[in-house]
Amino acid sequence: MDEKQLFDTWKSDHHLRNEELEADLEIKKITHAKSHDLFAKIRRNIIVELALSTIVAIGFPFFFTGDKLYFWIIVILLACSVAATFFVYGRYLRDMNQLNEVSLLQSLEKKISILSRYVRQLHVYMYIIAPVSFFIGFSYRLHDDHIELKRWIYLIAFSLPFLVLFMWLCNRYVYALYGKYLKQVKGLFDDLNEG
Nearest-angstrom CA–CA distance, 94 and 140: 40
Question: Cβ closer to other proteins: 37 or 49?
Answer: 37
Helices 104-124 and 149-174, packing angle to 10 deg: 170
Residue type, 194: E
Site string for other proteins, 87-106 (x = CB under 8 A): ----------x-xxxxxxxx
Neighbours of 141 (CB within 10 A): 11
Question: Cβ closer to other proteins: 145 or 191?
Answer: 191
Of the candidates 54, 107, 116, 171, which one interacts with other proteins according to CB under 8 A? 107
27 binds other proteins (CB under 8 A): yes
Question: Cβ closer to other proteins: 25 or 164?
Answer: 25
Helices 149-174 and 130-145, packing angle to 10 deg: 160
Nearest-angstrom CA–CA distance, 34 and 37: 9
Q: Where are the alpha helices (DSSP H) in 60-179?
A: 68-97, 104-124, 130-145, 149-174
List the interface residues with other proteins, window 119-158 (CB under 8 A): none
List the interface residues with other proteins, window 3-22 (CB under 8 A): 3, 6-7, 9-10, 12-16, 18, 21-22
Nearest-angstrom CA–CA distance, 167 and 83: 28
Distance of closest approach, residue 112 Cβ to other proteins, in angstroms: 10
Residues that bind other proteins (CB under 8 A): 1, 3, 6-7, 9-10, 12-16, 18, 21-22, 25, 27-28, 30-31, 33, 35-38, 97, 99-108, 111, 181, 184-185, 188, 191-192, 195
